[in-house]
Amino acid sequence: MMPELGHYALVLALALGLVQSIAPVVGARTHDAALIRLANSTAIMQFAFVAVSFAALVICYVTSDFSVATVFENSHSRMPLIYKFTSVWGNHEGSMLLWVLILSLFGAMVASFGGNLPATLKAHVLAVQSWIACAFYLFILLTSNPFLRLPQTPAEGRDLNPILQDIGLAIHPPLLYLGYVGFSIAFSFAIAALIEGRIDAAWARWVRPWTLMAWIFLTLGIAMGSYWAYYTLGWGGFWFWDPVENASLMPWLAGTALLHSAVVMEKRNALRVWTILLAILTFSLSLIGTFLVRSGVLTSVHAFATDPTRGVFILAILVMFIGGSLALFASRASALKQGGLFAPISREGALVFNNLFLTTACLTVFVGTLYPLALEAITGEKISVGAPFFNLTFGPLFVALMLAMPFGPLLAWKRGDLLGVAQRLVAASGIGALVVAVVFAVEGGQSVLAPFGVGLAAFVMVGALVDLTERTGLFRLPLTTVRARASGLPRSAWGTAIAHFGIALSMLGIISAATWGTELIAVVKPGQTVSLSDYELAFDGLIQRPGPNYSEVVAKFKVRSGGRTIGAVEPSKRSFSARDMSTNEAALMTRGAGQLYLSLGDAGNDGSVAIRFYYKPMVMLIWLGAVVMMLGGALSLSDRRLRIGAPKPAAKSALAPAE
């Protein structure tokens, strides 16, 4: 009953989606307010139906209804409840349903909270949103139906992939999808603006909060995914430049550029055409990411060619939306009037610099990710493009970006004074240079790049603080004035400084963990002690422990530092009988911002076990930095200007407001 209900609800959502795809556009053409208003209700009802469909699938999983094919393949009756729930999206079909759930949620949110939008703009936005939704409803219903029944009900499921039986699966994909799919709103706004052929600063003000929200979720989603991979894969890496990771990094880079160019458009009414293009590109990269991950093209170009239904369907969606939107852009962009003028050295100029480097960095990631696929499809030659490629290409571009970062917020709009800004950054540069010298001296010249990187991170951090002290007049003005200025400072200014501080924190963590991390691989016997850095590890022995749907071998260790026992760690290996697989559960111990990381290798016959033991100084800063970035974004999102919404546009719409 449940699967049929879910299936039926999804078909109804598709029907509503088709209505919403056409009615508001016709309404906007014929000035029919009723047709325009219809989009509000269909958007909310679409979300309701997709939610019913999703809830039905959740019930199938939670009650372990193995008559449903996807439940049988990805669940097990003895799994803990939380994993029964998260395995809903631990597979292709379910994760696509989560995708459209979030897509329809954003549509419903525009319908509910977009009260101050001009009626026709809102109608077009909802229509475009619905085009995307319909394409993906069809994709699910025709190629990836999660509700398909099996002819006979198996007694037990085949279990969720043990690597996915982790709390990370509960957090990472939903956050990532909120980010990916959130950019669809910016895309819909861009297409709506192109259809209407009219765009102004108010447009940017409406788009910015949605973009910012998507960016916040994507930032957090990527960071969570990185931390999950770090603790679950057992060898302490936090970023692998894997195509699947790159698929999420590309929309993040383009989205970050979009956030910055939308500021220029909002404040100065410039860069309009570019901002529209970026909005289209950002969501296009989200679609490309979905294609890369969901079509199977990464697993094998050949598997893709032999079973292409899903891949070709997503590819068709991709070509239709990216091609269609770019064609529309090409035909309409010239009609959009150019905005305000600015000198190359100005806040606008700095934001253009930011955009130039972010999009170019995004392009290098794009090339590195797709070149191996293209080469294999064309010549059959198989290559792997790994970290060295990205370090050589992405690295220098990002360094340039970080170098320029503190200058941007200090430059004035329209025409800036580079010399004046440089003078205000003297302290920051001095501290940066000092840090380079100190780090270089302390580590004894092992690496030249690392001290420079740490100095750069310090420069950006102090630069972000300088931005705040300049704006509040701290150290220059009396304290009461400073307090008044600080409370009068827009939250977006705080947000900028905090987010810039956050990226520098992440950079510091990456450099430190990659350069000064130490590693020990050894075989230990019970009673034996090994040491690494300032830490000693005493092995007490192995014990067996049963789990709900696995059994595990746990190794007990005591950690000592400076002659004192500071704690115990218990890395383990779990074997899952249903899939004949095992997972490695690394043990982590946080020391300040650094971490001790211990994972197990094979056990010997004499009670000994192979271990990998890492000390990663300041590694937590990588993810802490992302959280700080997210907080900066959230603070900016709560800015009064965005909460209250945009003022009424200059040209009054001919239609009555939608509500």
Partner 1 sequence: MTRKQRRLVLIGASLGVLAVAAALVLSALRDSIVFFNSPTDVVEKHQLPGTRLRIGGLVKPGSVQRGDNLLVRFAVTDGKTDIPVRYQGIVPDLFREGQGVVAEGKIEPGGTFAADTVLAKHDERYMPREVVDALKQSGHWQEGEAKASGSAVR
Residues that bind partner 1 (CB under 8 A): 91-92, 161-163, 234, 296, 299-304, 306-307, 338, 341-344, 352-353, 356-357, 360-361, 363-364, 367-368, 371-372, 381-386, 388-389, 392-393, 396-397, 521-523, 573, 579-584, 601-602, 610, 612
HEC profile of 223-244:
HHHHHHHHHHCCCCCCCCCCHH
Q: C-beta of 468: minimal distance to partner 1 in Å? A: 29
SS3 352: helix
Q: C-beta of 393: minimal distance to partner 1 in Å? A: 4
Q: C-beta of 389: minimal distance to partner 1 in Å? A: 5
| Cβ nearer to partner 1, comparing 324 with 604 | 604
| Cβ nearer to partner 1, comparing 320 with 367 | 367
CA distance 570 to 556: 5
Asked if 13 and 157 count as a contact pair (C-beta separation under 8 A), the reply is: no
| Cβ nearer to partner 1, comparing 341 with 434 | 341
At what angle are helices 119-143 and 167-196 packed, to 10 degrees?
A: 130
CA distance 586 to 233: 8
How far is residue 42 CA from its own chain's centroid? 29
Q: C-beta of 542: minimal distance to partner 1 in Å? A: 16
Asked if 446 and 432 count as a contact pair (C-beta separation under 8 A), the reply is: no
Write out the H or E segment, with its range, that includes residue 615.
strand 609-616
Measuring CA to CA, which residue among 612, 585, 505 is closest to residue 228?
A: 585
Q: C-beta of 580: minimal distance to partner 1 in Å? A: 6
Instruction: Spell 455-490 as b/e; 16+ CB within 10 A means b.
Output: bbbbbbbbbbbbbbbbbbebeeeeeeebeeeeeeee
Q: C-beta of 574: minimal distance to partner 1 in Å? A: 10
Q: C-beta of 463: minimal distance to partner 1 in Å? A: 22
Asked if 24 and 40 count as a contact pair (C-beta separation under 8 A), the reply is: no
| Cβ nearer to partner 1, comparing 302 with 648 | 302
How far is residue 268 CA from its own chain's centroid? 29
SS3 430: helix
Q: C-beta of 90: minimal distance to partner 1 in Å? A: 10
Instruction: Spell 331-352 as b/e; 16+ CB within 10 A means b.
Output: ebeeebeebbebeebbbbbbbb
Phi then psi dihedrals of residue 597, to 5 deg: -135, 120
At what angle are helices 167-196 and 92-113 packed, to 10 degrees?
A: 50
Residue for token pair 């850095």: 533
Sort 296 into a burial class: Cβ within 10 Å, 0-12 / 13-18 / 19+.
middle
| Cβ nearer to partner 1, comparing 31 with 579 | 579
Asked if 282 and 247 count as a contact pair (C-beta separation under 8 A), the reply is: no
Write out the H or E segment, with its range, that includes residue 602.
strand 594-603
Write out the H or E segment, with its range, that includes residue 581.
strand 581-585
- Kindly give the pairing relationship between strand 572-576 and strand 564-569: unpaired
| Cβ nearer to partner 1, comparing 77 with 300 | 300
Q: C-beta of 360: minimal distance to partner 1 in Å? A: 5
Q: C-beta of 357: minimal distance to partner 1 in Å? A: 7
Phi then psi dihedrals of residue 125, to 5 deg: -60, -50
Structure tokens at 532: 């690494």
| Cβ nearer to partner 1, comparing 237 with 490 | 237
Asked if 431 and 406 count as a contact pair (C-beta separation under 8 A), the reply is: no
Query: Any bridge partners for residue 523, and if so which?
Result: 610
CA distance 568 to 230: 20
| Cβ nearer to partner 1, comparing 355 with 636 | 355
In the 8-state DSSP scheme, what is residue 155? S
Q: C-beta of 457: minimal distance to partner 1 in Å? A: 22
Measuring CA to CA, which residue among 414, 306, 436 is closest to residue 350?
A: 414
Asked if 597 and 616 count as a contact pair (C-beta separation under 8 A), the reply is: yes
| Cβ nearer to partner 1, comparing 284 with 583 | 583
Q: C-beta of 599: minimal distance to partner 1 in Å? A: 8
CA 494 to each of CA 94, 443, 471, 499, 633: distance values in angstroms, whole numbers, following the listed order? 39, 35, 10, 9, 9
| Cβ nearer to partner 1, comparing 364 with 549 | 364
Residue for token pair 């040209």: 651
Q: C-beta of 591: minimal distance to partner 1 in Å? A: 23
Q: C-beta of 403: minimal distance to partner 1 in Å? A: 14
| Cβ nearer to partner 1, comparing 172 with 573 | 573
| Cβ nearer to partner 1, comparing 427 with 530 | 530
Half-sphere exposure of 288 (CA within 13 A, CB side): 24
| Cβ nearer to partner 1, comparing 397 with 626 | 397
Q: C-beta of 525: minimal distance to partner 1 in Å? A: 14
Structure tokens at 112: 């509910």
Q: C-beta of 336: minimal distance to partner 1 in Å? A: 15
Write out the H or E segment, with its range, that includes residue 558.
strand 551-561
| Cβ nearer to partner 1, comparing 159 with 639 | 159
| Cβ nearer to partner 1, comparing 602 with 606 | 602
Phi then psi dihedrals of residue 80, to 5 deg: -60, 150
| Cβ nearer to partner 1, comparing 471 with 573 | 573
| Cβ nearer to partner 1, comparing 90 with 209 | 90
Q: C-beta of 166: minimal distance to partner 1 in Å? A: 14
